[in-house]
Amino acid sequence: MDKVNRTRLTASDIVAPPVAPGRLAEYRRFGYISDQTISASVVRAARQWGSQPALAEGGHQLTYQELLEVVERAAAWLTGAGIGSGDVVCWQTPNWWEAHVLGLAVWHAGAVSCPVAPFYREHELRQVIEQVRPAAVVTAEAFRGFAHADAFDDLLAATGLGDVARIVLRGTRPGWAPFDAVVSHGRRQKSATVGPDDPCLILFTSGTTSGAKAAVHSSRTLLAETRQLVDAWGLSWEDVAYMAAPLQHITGVLNAMTIPLLVGASAVLADRWEPDVAVADIMRHRVTYSAGATVFLQELTDAARAARVHLPLRIFACGGAAVPRAVMEHSEEQGIPAARVYGMTELPTVTVMNRAYPFDLRAGTDGAIAPGVQVRVVGTDGEPLAAGCPGELLVRGPEQMLGYLDPDANRAALDDAGWFSTGDVGLVDGAGFVTITGRVKDVINRGGEKFSARDIEDLLVKHPAVRHAAVVPGPDARFGEVPVAFVVFDHPGQVTAEDLCRYLHATGLARQKTPVAWHFVDALPTTSSGKVKKFELIATTSTEERLG
């Protein structure tokens, strides 16, 4: 392909405040960071735990030695396709073992991994492709009724990337290399030499802006994060992870990929969330740790109770969305030691706890500040507040991203001292425990998947019948929050909620973002400056009459 059209990413491309030398030295002195690189991680793991189980999904299992062999073959294929240091590889897949292998092969080849959320559709995929301009893409031919490969073909052609290398999983398609061909040749690739500060991971996250933002991590930041969790949870080669959360989410990357590689644990993958299947898999593989949003913990607890089994879990880290105390109480009664945690793609572990913490702290707070991480609570004037006073949380730490690809996003989110504005409102008590009480940013948190309300609004107001639109979070028993729309029409009565749903689907918007309840109003409440008073809309939101 034409290399001019694709991104070759280096650390110097990230225009963001660097970590101050003094803080970097402190991180190193306390062992929070090292010069270890993710590209060599599979080799290290195979040398130490070659015969140990590494990965299981469906009926397929691999030891660490077998994993290394297939990763080396896949990396050799990527190298042969011209993929190298700094090249970006996008992969949007179910949680299949082949996806796990290719995700590791991207790192082994020295390239930059860009996992793409499985629920993204044409609208979001276009944003991803335009920002990272990948050198290769990996996807399923189709999954859950969506033709992933079709979508990539169309979007790559539209963005001038028609010659991008392509790998298709569990299917065949002209112009795409099937997975078997990628790993069945005899060539094997040694791990690439990359620096600890070179970009290795791009994850997309939504904020108050309509477009998804590309957060970039290096080996240093990603492995610092991995060590935080390993140390906090006391993980080793004897542990087994269960992961139904997507591998394309920071939760999946850490718990199913980097943590096992660091300590020799094994990962059990599920390509969809089915609580009864999860209970059976956890019992069969003697799973000891897992992580996910509230809905996973709640439904896992119910399924275990119905099956009358005691799960072997030592920890279930629950975060990404509000965790009601009742959910924690039920899991505790069922013998599932859960703990609330707080973090974000940009700095994944702000807080962390394990089962040794008293239940009231695990259920009543969002966790203890992780080692090396700093949290500052500020008022609307930006000045620090006293302990116990709620305000916006600013954070920084050894696992903090290098920055966003977009310099403007960095200027908006990071100050010169490296403090990251989370957009979340909370407090820190005198003992260093964090409690989240709300948020500043205009984001909907559907079961741990966060997306911008403005993204949906921007599409709605392009409909010829819509004059104004506002989207806010509405309550949902399963997902915590779902999108709810308030719409003002030019000529009321001509368009229905079903019409607007069909319109949004036709734009390629992810179905998870489609409002489940619609309120047609004469006007939106606004401030004197014209800003919509969303807090008033939220107070009147109802999802009782819903379309989905």
Could you list the mean pLDDT of each consecutive 10-residue stretch along the chain, which spans 548 residues? Answer: 68 93 96 93 96 96 98 97 96 98 97 95 93 97 92 95 96 96 92 95 74 92 97 98 95 97 98 96 98 90 96 92 84 94 95 95 95 95 92 97 96 96 93 87 82 85 90 90 94 92 94 94 74 82 61
SS3 of residue 256 by DSSP:
helix
CA distance 19 to 310: 45
Centroid of chain to Cα 317: 15
Architecture, CATH, for domain 1-16+36-213: 3-Layer(aba) Sandwich (3.40)
The pTM of this model reads 0.85
In angstroms, rounded to a whole number, what is the distance separating the alpha carbons of residues 375 and 134? 35
Q: Give me the residue spans of the domains in the chain.
A: 1-16+36-213, 445-539
How far is Cα 321 from Cα 529, in angstroms, rounded to an integer?
A: 32
C-alpha 34/C-alpha 119 separation (Å) is 35
Q: Do the bridges between strand 199-205 and strand 213-218 make them parallel or antiparallel, or are there none, so unpaired?
A: antiparallel
Instruction: Identify the pLDDT of residue 3.
Output: 54
Rounded Cα distance, 198 and 216, in Å: 10
CATH topology of domain 445-539: GMP Synthetase; Chain A, domain 3 (3.30.300)
Helix ranges restricted to H, 376-451? 407-413
